[in-house]
Amino acid sequence: MFNLISPRLFSRPARTALAVRHITTWSPAPTPQPAVLRLKTGQEFRGRSFGAQHSVFGETVFTTSITSYTESLTDPSYQGQLLAFTSPLIGNYGVPDNSTPGSAREHPADVDVGCFLESRGVQAAGVIVSELCERFSHFQAYESLASWCARHNVPGIQGVDTRALTTLLRNQGSTLGAILVGKDAERTPDASEFLDPMSENLIARVSTKEPYTIHPVGGESAARARVALLDFGTKANILRSLLRQGVSVTVFPWDYDFNAVRDQFDGLFLSNGPGSPESIAPAIATVAKTIEEWDRPVFGICMGSQIIGLAIGLRAYRMKFGNRGHNQPVLALSPGNMSVQAGRVYITSQNHGYALAYSETGEDAWPEGWQPWFVNANDWSIEGIVRTEALEPNSQKAPVWGVQFHPEHAGGPEDTNPLFDDYVQQVLRYKAMRSIPAHTPGVASQPEARM
């Protein structure tokens, strides 16, 4: 049996964030300095700095999220990006203690996944806001946005006309830029300094370096199944959403040879992550082999969905400015053998700059047995993929699904959160099928699990 000696083996129940602290409304932060947001295309926006007092380069993107700036900034998918918030006031409810076990929802089935937010630190390279609120009010607040960014060495700029910036980025697309602080604010960077983070393997920065296992409430003996997760930069709420379903989750590095240990798990989950899906060719090859040979369910979110597409021969392209926000509508094209209503529009949380190409004919036509599952109701980009041949009666193919949006909703709407329950139910179904003798009438035979 495959055993992991985990650097973090968690099974204790989460405790409330309010247990040992008083209400905080202010925390010390570095004195603001003159700052400028300068784009490679020549435009500039002047303001004042907050957070870390140094300059930074990155890809300038925007999010339409009205709330949950703490969850957005700790989302590993924002690695290497200068994140502009279109909401005019940011920081008004402060930042919680991210070392507190649990989550903002205080779900009874939550266990400690290593952080309170979506990862242990601020993931964005820089932060752009119109108005920064330095005094805050929230029962879970621990410090200000400015002091939090300073502790994590992330610079920010306030006083930017984010409406004008957003219009600019929508018109010309996501643009390389720099937040220049202090004396740097008076210089014009050379074009060679604007390096595109999407050309790097950002996933290697944020993925776990060693495998680890987290068990649900009740420990390993209470787990209904074992799910493996390839970590491309997973959000903590993906782990929480799986653990709430009563399964144990083993998290592997992005380039781990999953197929060497796959039969010791009941399902595979592919996480979100930053950058280009083409930057991780080894993971694409691993998933292609899994899809072709394995007899158990596979589910992917965001980057995970793109990896599924590339693994079956599809093409991923870089979008003009991406879809980032907590209010993105998607249209369901089919149920996908889940509790999805075909023809219904779901409101979703999204953060992606790449999408899968689709055409009914030509080089972007999809292979037989696969079809789009969801499309974006604003720009008609592909928002989901499903293996239709696996849904046919007596099919010998295992089901595979991928969604470009975030059903774990941290933050954002909860419309598609039931997909986690659906996925685990399919994992349990295929696990039960493997325990049924091959000669049982009316049941498709499945290979025995080697545990």
Question: What string of pLDDT tens digits covers the 451 residues of the chain?
Answer: 444 434 343 333 443 444 445 688 999 999 999 999 999 999 999 999 999 999 999 999 999 999 999 999 999 999 999 999 999 999 999 999 999 988 888 899 999 999 999 999 999 999 999 999 999 999 999 999 999 999 999 999 999 999 999 999 999 999 999 999 999 999 999 999 999 999 999 999 999 999 999 999 999 999 999 999 999 999 999 999 999 999 999 999 999 999 999 999 999 999 999 999 999 999 999 999 999 999 999 999 999 999 999 999 999 999 999 999 998 999 999 999 999 999 999 999 999 999 999 999 999 999 999 999 999 999 999 999 999 999 998 899 999 999 999 999 888 899 999 999 999 999 999 999 998 764 434 333 333 332 2
- Among the listed residues 326, 352, 406, 409, the single catalytic one is 406
Q: Token digits for 238?
A: 């993906």
pTM of the predicted protein model: 0.91
CB 293 within 8 A of CB 270: no
Q: Is 145 helix (H, G, I), strand (E, B) or coil?
A: helix
Q: Is 210 a catalytic residue?
A: no
Q: Which of 302, 326, 383, 409 is catalytic?
A: 302
pLDDT given for residue 23 in this prediction: 80
Q: Please give the backbone phi and psi of residue 152, each rounded to the nearest 5 degrees, phi first.
A: -100, 10
Whose CA is closest to 174, among 350, 321, 352, 354? 321
Amino acid at 322: G
Give how far Cα 329 sits from Cα of 63, 380, 422, Å.
15, 10, 21
CA–CA distance, 72 with 124 (Å, rounded to integer): 9
Q: 224: which residues sit within 8 A by CB, 6+ positions away?
A: 245, 246, 247, 424, 428
| Residue 300: partners with Cβ closer than 8 Å, 6 or more residues away | 269, 270, 271, 306, 307, 308, 401, 402, 403
Give residue 104's pLDDT.
Answer: 84
- Distance of alpha carbon 41 from alpha carbon 407, whole angstroms: 35
Active site residue 406: yes
Q: Which of 134, 143, 383, 408 is catalytic?
A: 408
